[in-house]
Chains A and B, each alone.
Chain A
Amino acid sequence: QKEVEQNSGPLSVPEGAIASLNCTYSDRGSQSFFWYRQYSGKSPELIMSIYSNGDKEDGRFTAQLNKASQYVSLLIRDSQPSDSATYLCAVNKGETSGSRLTFGEGTQLTVNP
């Protein structure tokens, strides 16, 4: 079992729709969770971080965390073609990890005009 798994892509949504990206993790002691966006040929860019159960909203982005189910998701409302990128889920496994992150393989999102 992979430590961090993301829903297999690619994911394609029409412009204006809600894109839903999912991530599960295996270490129940994980403490913090991050979503990065990576455009083709570019470096990962942090877009959301979440530490507590529930929802966290920032503009068109909402991160959702359910520690009991070991599940974190990213919702993108009113998707735009500029949101087309690969989205990486990253997990910090707890105090002994410092700020080291374990990354999923990413989900490629395409938003069609």
Chain B
Amino acid sequence: NAGVTQTPKFQVLKTGQSMTLQCAQDMNHNSMYWYRQDPGMGLRLIYYSASEGTTDKGEVPNGYNVSRLNKREFSLRLESAAPSQTSVYFCASSEEGQPYNEQFFGPGTRLTVL
């Protein structure tokens, strides 16, 4: 099993460009998450999907949109990239939307917005 996979690994954008970060998991998990990680800020939740067909905002959703394409895939879209969105983006998944369920992370996408 590959676990959680993310594409691309690295990306450089110019301000105003758009892009979609892709995430897929093969663990048959119901819940998926998008985080960003900035120096000194820890991991912050952008959006999550408790189950197929549902999405909800996290702590820092502004400037992002998501799509839960099916049970396996959860994408994150930047419609008009800004330098403040320069960060490392991690996707994660968990079995169910319950407090005791552990989250497993993908390898991350390093995004630079010039």
Contacts and interface: CB of A to CB of B under 8 A. Distances in A.
A98 B44 CA distance: 16
A98 B42 contact: no
Contacts of B106: 43
A32 B103 CA distance: 12
Given A43-B108, A45-B105, A98 B97 contact: yes
A46 B99 contact: no
Question: Helix, strand, loop or mixed for chain B's interface?
Answer: loop
Interface stretch (A13-21, A55-63, A103-111): A103-111
Given A43-B90, A49-B100, A105-B40, 17 more contacts: A31-B99, A42-B108, A43-B107, A45-B105, A46-B104, A88-B43, A92-B100, A94-B99, A95-B99, A98-B31, A98-B50, A99-B96, A99-B98, A100-B58, A103-B42, A104-B42, A105-B41
A101 interface: yes
B57 to A, nearest CB: 11
A92 B99 contact: yes
A71 interface: no
Interface residues of B, number: 26
Interface residues of A, number: 26
Interface string A73-113: 00000000000000010101111011111011110000000
B100 A31 contact: yes
Closest 10 CB pairs of A and B: A98-B97, A105-B42, A103-B43, A43-B105, A92-B99, A31-B99, A99-B101, A103-B42, A99-B94, A32-B99
Nearest to A29: B99
B111 interface: no
Contacts of B74: none
A100 B48 contact: yes
